[in-house]
């Protein structure tokens, strides 16, 4: 795997693991006290920026997938052109062989004897 996707997926995994860790931490500290979470309101702007970072990672991942698909389509088109080229060469070779065989049959000594 190339270096770029490994770094991107590592950041993506770290982001999700850290969000899950924070969720478990808050759940362990305040299991049934939803109103006690109001003291964490100072972290809401930070949470927004972290969520935007996660969204950016998601968009980068989508762009990376689209770029990979575009590259695969280009490779497939190149292979299709190459396949058609090889088919044309094989057809030409078969026609050349058929032409030689028909010449050999018309120039055979048995034909000269009957004439």
Place of tokens 């950016």: 56
Structure confidence at residue 37 (pLDDT)? 64
pLDDT tens-digit map of 6-21? 787 888 888 888 888 8
Query: Do 57 and 15 contact (CB within 8 A), yes or no?
Result: yes
Phi and psi angles of residue 18, each rounded to the nearest 5 degrees, phi first: -70, -40
Of the two residues 100 and 105, the one the predictor is more confident about is 100
Taking all residues of the chain, what is their mean pLDDT, rounded to a whole number?
Answer: 79
Given a cut of 90, whether residue 115 has pLDDT beyond it is no
Averaged pLDDT for residues 45-72: 83
Structure confidence at residue 88 (pLDDT)? 92
Structure confidence at residue 34 (pLDDT)? 63
Structure confidence at residue 100 (pLDDT)? 83
The Cα–Cα gap between 19 and 28 comes to 14
Averaged pLDDT for residues 79-105: 89
The model carries a pTM of 0.51
pLDDT tens-digit map of 66-87? 888 899 999 999 999 999 999 9
């Amino acid at each position: 795997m190339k270096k770029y996707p490994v770094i991107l997926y590592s950041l993506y995994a770290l982001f999700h693991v850290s969000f899950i860790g924070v969720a478990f931490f808050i759940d362990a500290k305040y299991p049934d006290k939803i109103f006690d979470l109001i003291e964490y309101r100072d972290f809401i702007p930070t949470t927004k920026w972290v969520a935007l970072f996660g969204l950016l990672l998601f968009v980068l991942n989508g762009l990376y997938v689209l770029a990979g698909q575009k590259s695969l389509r280009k490779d497939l088109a190149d292979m299709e052109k190459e396949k058609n080229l090889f088919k044309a060469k094989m057809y030409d070779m078969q026609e050349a062989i058929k032409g030689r065989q028909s010449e050999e049959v018309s120039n055979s000594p048995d034909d000269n004897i009957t004439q």
